[in-house]
Amino acid sequence: MKVLLNKITSSTRNARLAREVMLTSNIVAKEGSVVAVRAMDRKTVYNEVEDIHGRMATVNEGDIIAGVLGERRALRGYTGIVPEKINVGDTLHLLNLGGVVGLCTSANPDVGPPCRVEVLGQVLSFPRLGERVGEPANIRTNALPLSDLLEASVPLIYISGTCMNAGKTFAACEIIRGLTRRGVKVGAAKLTGVSLRRDTLKMEDVGASRALSFTDAGIVSTRPQTALPVARGLLKALQDPHEGVKLDVVVVELGDGIMGEYGVQEILRTPDLMKFAAAHVMCANDPVGAWGAARWFEEELGTKLTVISGPTTDNGVGRGFIENSLGIPAVNARAEGDRLAEVVFQAVKAR
């Protein structure tokens, strides 16, 4: 069956879909499979998807959308899985703004129930010119290679958080902006989370020479068992001069929280990834989160946070607690972005 897509979501970008695609009813019910679905609802909140260029588009009832099968485990969003078997006509859900499709098992009240979608079929790709028989499309096609070891790297600036929506991307962008103004060639990577292009585009907008995410490595949603080879693969890709640019540092955002299920802890515990760490920036929502994160880094990882940012630093109460009780600089990215960049810059110089 041939269909005309109304929306091609950013999670599908490795598959390089045309607007008109061929579908098969034989659906490979695995993460990464590219599927076409029809929207069954018109929501008033969490009612958009991101297209392959990073533009947000409103989902209307009846829209035919290309998305990718995947899981999500978000505290402030949807939790969902890929069913063991999927047939044409089944009802699934849009699990995130990037077009990840799965069966929702839990929803946060702030975003309401997920948009239901009717499965139309799996998209076929035709990788060989002249072939009339298509293959099931998957975002592993054209993906960056994974790796088992990171042997060399420029200094890495790790940014993690106590939870999702703790200000990690904003802090990353302020650091990139500040370092770029200081003449530093900066690369960026988002190593964990669920597929969405928005954050890496923001990093490029503020000066990153190149920004990659796990979706570039063909992964829809990271997990402990996939996070390490993905992280190494992306960081290796950034070491190679791209379009004549040799990077001085890489700003690394770890999506979700350090206690989440996307593989953040595994990355922070891995020696070959940590030996290149020049700074650890923690974004915390409140003083208790800041205290717990600082203690976890010292007791579990044997290292100290370079600086704490995020909502807990929004006023003097939180900043005073962090600096006086924890002995760690507290810098608010929104009010003191250049100071945050300077703290990190000095940490890189001292490495």
- Structural domains present in the chain: 2-136 (no CATH), 156-350 (3.40.50.300)
pLDDT digits (tens, 9 = 90+) for 245-284: 899 999 999 999 999 899 999 999 999 999 999 999 999 9
pLDDT digits (tens, 9 = 90+) for 117-146: 999 999 999 876 666 778 999 999 999 999
User: Where in 72-171 does DSSP place strands (E)?
Assistant: 72-73, 78-81, 91-94, 100-107, 116-125, 135-136, 156-161
Please give the Cα distance from 351 to 278 (Å, whole number): 6
Tokens of 285: 């929502």
Tokens of 155: 């200094």
Q: What per-residue string of b and e applies to 170-197 under the rule 16 or more CB within 10 Å gives b?
A: bbbbbbbbbbbeeebbbbbbbbbbbbbb
Largest interatomic CA distance in the chain: 69
Confidence tier at 69 by pLDDT (50, 70, 90) = very high
| Percentage of the residues of the chain whose pLDDT score is greater than 90 | 92
H/E run at residue 191: strand 186-192
Cα distances (angstroms) measured from residue 130 to each of 3, 127, 133, 142, 299: 20, 9, 9, 19, 59
* Degrees to nearest 5, angle at CA 349 with 344 and 351: 95
pLDDT digits (tens, 9 = 90+) for 71-124: 998 888 899 999 999 999 999 999 999 999 999 999 999 899 999 999 999 999
Q: Are residues 186 and 238 in contact, defined by beta-carbon separation less than 8 angstroms?
A: no
Confidence tier at 327 by pLDDT (50, 70, 90) = very high
Q: Are residues 162 and 285 in contact, defined by beta-carbon separation less than 8 angstroms?
A: yes
pLDDT value for 133: 76
Length of the chain in terms of residues written:
351
Instruction: Flag whether pLDDT at 236 surpasses 90.
Output: yes
